[in-house]
Amino acid sequence: MDPAMLYLLAADAVLVLHVLFVVFVIFGMLLIFVGKVRAWSWIRNPWFRLTHLAAIAVVVIQSLFDLVCPLTSIEMVLRARAGDTVYSGSFIAHWLESILYYQLEPWAFVAGYVVFAVIVVASWFLIRPRRF
């Protein structure tokens, strides 16, 4: 197989992993609140909740320090090695612009991440996880 194709496949795999991470953060929060209403016991699993909290914490820390996500960096390196087109900026900013045709200032993403993290932290008090 052509090395460029291998790099593209690896870049696509990283992209899929990145999308799954975003889905976990967003839909995990949604499922926590839906699970509260529907009395799903699994949403109180402390490992799920801690992993979810850690995931959004990483996003907030990266955005506050203006760091590019390592998954974005890895994907871009792989795409560059394959001779493919790379994008600048963050993964979320790129795909929101591409999908929604809407540009936001970087501070808006930081604010959104922080607000989302506050909601995640609040969920620990509103919908308490079980003890370890």
With CA atoms as reference, report the closest residue to 52 among 75, 30, 81. 30
**Integer Cα distance of 106 and 108 in angstroms:** 5
pTM, to two decimals: 0.85
Determine the average pLDDT of the residues in 24-29: 96
Reported as a pLDDT band with limits 50, 70 and 90, residue 25 is: very high
Give the gyration radius of the chain's Cα atoms: 17
The predicted pLDDT at position 26 comes to 95
More confident call, 112 vs 98: 112
Reported as a pLDDT band with limits 50, 70 and 90, residue 101 is: very low
**Integer Cα distance of 100 and 77 in angstroms:** 25
Q: Are 120 and 53 in contact (CB under 8 A)?
A: yes
More confident call, 46 vs 76: 46
Q: What is the dihedral of CA 79, 90, 23, 118, to 10 degrees?
A: 160
